[in-house]
Structure 1
């Protein structure tokens, strides 16, 4: 059961002022369970989905534990991308300002793509809180510019993304340079099995808080549009005539697809922004600033680029290509329908996506199969598994016959022998199809 407000945490007075200015009245589920553990010095694993309040679940207790009378780094906050680190850093600065502690509580942003010498000059007086990407922090630690041995807490934000990007090695090298008694705070939407050895190495008896995953808010609708051999850009142009989004994020499955789709939409007259990890640092920074300043109504993005980044007012998510995993679908659609607002997820699909769709339906997600005519939504037929199986059986039959070796000499019973070979090949193809389905 959640507290009515934050008073049960016995925060210092400045933090109550911060909470008031942030308009936080009641802790979220993850905050309710994680904050007391952090305040008592426990290492924690906080597992909950995007938009659940994870960032303030560690920032609030960190500020409560900060000792302004001591110099040196007290807290290290790591994030997998520059954009995410910058977002957390801006929140840290805002909280310092709201607490009226500017100059007394200090922080620095340490990320790549910025003037390193200028950064080194600013680290003459070590800050209380450093926020950054693992690579840049490690670089400065190895050069002796800054020491993190004095840190009492080490935050690993978006840990599963750290693992995906191969940054856990750098986190490992940073933790080796910390005091052995350091409190480690791990936050992530998912905790992959591959992360277990790392967690066992650095977290001794941690408090593991896993919030029940809400597959989709009740205020959200999920529409599916069969692509039917049409160009993705053409379908999205039709979608744009049926919706008037405040902001719509269009997801692709990679950088090349994002560039291709963005260019195709621009050629068709739709003004879109683009956000992916392949953009140069300066261009990424500019793109993110323009997006947050509402320069674009439509944004083409990849999973990695949009992960964790807070974009205010996303009313629609469009999957130009559906992901392969349930978790990625949930991450994507989690960009909209926040804080009780309504939201819409629209996904283009082909027969290859029915495995994912079926898995999502099994978990209780309800899709509306739709199409667009004359700028309006119309209902479309449900492309269920039975329809596809009929097509698959027919195509397997034909493919099996194609693979049967042609008889050089026609002998008695050759037709029966060819039929037996065809059936054997068909069984092999069918088994392969089933194995692919289970993956």
Structure 2
């Protein structure tokens, strides 16, 4: 199927050509016909599947720059996501004469923004809190006649606590409103909210496995090393255009980023602990592609379009395993295949088993002497003894120490000591168990007499 199959306006066709698109993605094929007819839509699809233009193209079809009022509002849960949407919408301005698009987010002086709104835009893109402030509280943004409301990254909007702001905005819009929601997942609480405003919505859910190219999933065991130590071994083995490294928490992301800087890597850091100024700098560096390594958390990277990702590295597995699917999918963009390296420890074995059941096919490789080593995938569950030894090792391995001369020798000695301690504990437990068994046997013997 091609975009030529749709009966689109000339301005919309220019917009599509400007983006150098040739064929609609699966989510676009499913959404565009219904969205152009004014239907309410709940779109669920993975990052990188083309959700943004699934609603921008129908908006181009329906918006009329000769009518002087706000016709479309698009909300995004973060400034970075709103800015990214705004940059896409600026291409719409270039293709449709007279179209006015306005970005409304925090970080800009309110009085200045209120002055700019003396002439109402046709399309508003922004964060829910600032849009609500200017619409509901200040009444300088007029949305009573607005015909389309798009809630982008809706599940993230819920998670960040901004759903109340969207509720306040939608509640003061007219009954004629067409509402579209797009996200990677759709929690139950979000479903209740959307159906409050939507009229017989069309639910469109795209199977991630079918919507993206093949991804090679490589498991790399850390053994007695931390994720960060193994990461330092891994990175010299490939030359990425852009490598996206995922950590499970903000603290872990900040720690990994600093470690890589200390070892001479150019890093873009992307997580919730950054200041507003740091976030703006990070987004600028991402756009300019000056650095090849990005360290991020799942929520910070959600929806952010990072071009040219050739490799993804996962430092362990997230609690929500669907996030791993989203992580790996960031490398398989614009028709290319991708590769995802997953660093794992014994406690990650259950996650590996569950993902395997979901259809993720892992191959396993080791790293030895700065080279790849082929190894077999171990699907056997660790026994009690292995878990105990691994726990003792982690207590030592998890300690942060400055690198000094003889560091590796000392660390190896600490880990050997941890293993010996764990084995002594196991021997002592065996002795106690044997004593209990002998005492129990004697009691049974006495009863028999």
TM range (shorter): 0.7 to 0.9
SS in 2 for 1:178: coil
Matches within 5 A, 1:44-63: 44-63=41-60
Q: 2:430, 2:164 → 1: CA distance?
A: 48
Is 1:332 aligned to residue 357 of structure 2? no
Asked whether the 8 Å contact 1:34–1:44 carries over to 2, the reply is yes
User: 1:84-121: per-residue Cα shift (whole Å, max 9, x none)?
Assistant: 11111110001221x152xx100100111223222222
Q: Which runs of at least 4 in structure 1 moved beyond 6 Å after TM superposition?
A: 393-396, 398-401, 403-406, 410-413
SS in 2 for 1:385: coil
Q: Mark the runs of 5 or more structure 2 residues left unpaired by the alignment.
A: 392-424, 445-449
CA separation of 1:415 and 1:65: change in aligned 2, threshold 3 A: same
TM-superposed deviation, 1:363:
2.0
CA separation of 1:400 and 1:105: change in aligned 2, threshold 3 A: farther
Is 1:265 aligned to residue 290 of structure 2? no
SS in 2 for 1:52: coil
1:66 match: 63
Is 1:135 aligned to residue 143 of structure 2? no
1:27 match: 24
SS in 2 for 1:256: helix
TM-superposed deviation, 1:386:
3.8
SS in 1 for 2:245: strand
Asked whether the 8 Å contact 2:311–2:331 carries over to 1, the reply is yes
Is 1:121 aligned to residue 118 of structure 2? no
More off after superposition, 223-232 vs 198-207: 223-232
Question: Residue 187 of structure 2: which of 184, 188, 192 is its match?
Answer: 192
TM-superposed deviation, 1:395:
10
2:379 match: 384
Asked whether the 8 Å contact 2:120–2:141 carries over to 1, the reply is yes
Question: Residue 9 of structure 1: which of 2, 6, 10 is its match?
Answer: 6
Asked whether the 8 Å contact 1:216–1:330 carries over to 2, the reply is no
Is 1:155 aligned to residue 150 of structure 2? yes
Q: 1:360, 1:315 → 2: CA distance?
A: 22
Q: 1:5, 1:216 → 2: CA distance?
A: 16
TM-superposed deviation, 1:285:
0.9
CA separation of 1:170 and 1:225: change in aligned 2, threshold 3 A: same
CA separation of 1:269 and 1:7: change in aligned 2, threshold 3 A: closer
Asked whether the 8 Å contact 2:213–2:336 carries over to 1, the reply is no
Asked whether the 8 Å contact 2:11–2:60 carries over to 1, the reply is no
More off after superposition, 264-273 vs 53-62: 264-273
CA separation of 1:393 and 1:244: change in aligned 2, threshold 3 A: closer
1:210 match: 205
Is 1:42 aligned to residue 24 of structure 2? no
**Aligned residues: CA RMSD:** 2.8
SS in 2 for 1:57: helix
Q: 1:208, 1:198 → 2: CA distance?
A: 14
Q: 2:346, 2:235 → 1: CA distance?
A: 24
User: 1:196-254: per-residue Cα shift (whole Å, max 9, x none)?
Assistant: 22122111211111112217955421111111231333211211110111110111111
Q: 1:33, 1:356 → 2: CA distance?
A: 32
TM-superposed deviation, 1:41:
1.4
Q: 2:369, 2:63 → 1: CA distance?
A: 60
SS in 2 for 1:378: strand
Q: TM-score, normalised by structure 1?
A: 0.87
- Count matched residues: 410
Q: TM-score, normalised by structure 2?
A: 0.85
2:226 match: 231
Q: 2:329, 2:363 → 1: CA distance?
A: 18
SS in 1 for 2:208: coil
Asked whether the 8 Å contact 2:26–2:211 carries over to 1, the reply is no
